[in-house]
Amino acid sequence: MNIKRLLFLSIVAIVITASSCTSYKNIPYFQNVNRDSIFTETITNYSQLTIQPADLLGIHVTSLNNEADAKYNYNLERAFGNSNLDRAEENAVVGYLVDQDGNIKMPSIGTIKVSGLTTTQIARLLETKLLLDLKQPTVNVRIQNFKISILGDVKNPGTFNITNERITLSEALSRSGDLNITGIRSILLIRELEGKRTYVPIDLTSKDIITSPYYYLKNNDVIYVKPNRARSEDNGSTFQRAGLIVSVLSIIAILLQR
């Protein structure tokens, strides 16, 4: 094999190897944001979470009738009994489970329709109903089982429990340690709501995701980050690619000295 042919094959090898690397233009987020000046926009796409079947509600009631409050507060001892309290504390999240008809059942009050309401609306509704039994009742309502799952090419995939009712897509990705450099910036959001499953492609390189109705996540949302082709083929072995390029360049240098 002559020197020219060796040079040609070496150059081809470098080109093929380099082309398998992630292109920088596909990496940054929010590429169409003007970074030369400050830009402010009004938030119009945020709305409070509404309750759906299978949500678990933590409801805490206080009033001037301290002893009467207890029957409404769903706690570990009431749910499992003193003998099973250790197991309950380790494994259980307790509360009022919203059934498939969108209802919960509470002592004295009975069945209450909560599906489609916010936690604030439920609290006000319960305060009104409890006036028949309690003096100056105050109700706090939280979603106990609010969680999201992040899969695919991120640093720390997993399921994350959310302690409040407001989390954005950006915040969720930061909890997973962000995308790896080989993760494709067009991700997939999977959402189940009102008996329907929706698959939403989202382009992280565009600032338009901030105004998207899917930017604020809902309970049980799943985010999937697809790896690029290079990661799929060789599990992102950057060092192997770099070693190959160095080897080829060394061969070319030797050939050029002849």
The architecture that CATH gives domain 25-47+146-227 is Roll (3.10)
| pLDDT score recorded for residue 31 | 78
Q: Give dist(CA 70, CA 58) in Å, integer.
A: 14
| pLDDT score recorded for residue 88 | 41
Cβ–Cβ under 8 Å, residues 191 and 221: yes
| Upper half-sphere CA count for residue 47 (Cβ side, 13 Å) | 9
φ, ψ of residue 149 to 5 degrees: the values are -125, 140
Q: What is the pTM of this model?
A: 0.71
| pLDDT score recorded for residue 91 | 44
| pLDDT score recorded for residue 40 | 80
| pLDDT score recorded for residue 68 | 84
Judged on CB neighbours under 10 Å (0-12, 13-18, 19+), 80 is middle
| pLDDT score recorded for residue 86 | 47
Cβ–Cβ under 8 Å, residues 67 and 116: no
Q: At what angle do helices 3-19 and 238-257 cross, to 10 degrees?
A: 160
CA distances in angstroms from 134 to 59, 62, 68, 219, listed in the order given: 15, 9, 7, 32
Bin 15: left if φ > 0, else alpha if -120 < ψ < 50, else beta: alpha
Interior angle at CA 213, CA 211 and CA 214, nearest 5: 105
Could you list the pLDDT tens digit for every one of the 258 residues in the chain? 566 565 555 666 555 555 555 566 777 777 777 778 887 878 888 888 899 999 999 999 999 988 888 888 865 445 444 444 344 444 445 789 999 999 999 888 899 999 999 999 999 999 999 998 899 999 999 999 999 999 999 999 999 999 888 899 999 999 999 999 999 999 999 998 878 899 999 999 998 899 999 999 999 999 999 998 766 555 545 555 656 566 656 666 665 566
Q: Can you read off the two tokens belonging to residue 215? A: 């930017």
Cβ–Cβ under 8 Å, residues 64 and 231: no
Which value, to the nearest 10 degrees, does the dihedral of the CA atoms of residues 204, 210, 212, 216 take?
100
Nearest residue to 97 (alpha-carbon basis) of 117, 114, 80: 114
Tell me, which fold does domain 56-143 have in CATH? Answer: wza like fold (3.30.1950)
Q: Can you read off the two tokens belonging to residue 45? A: 């796409």
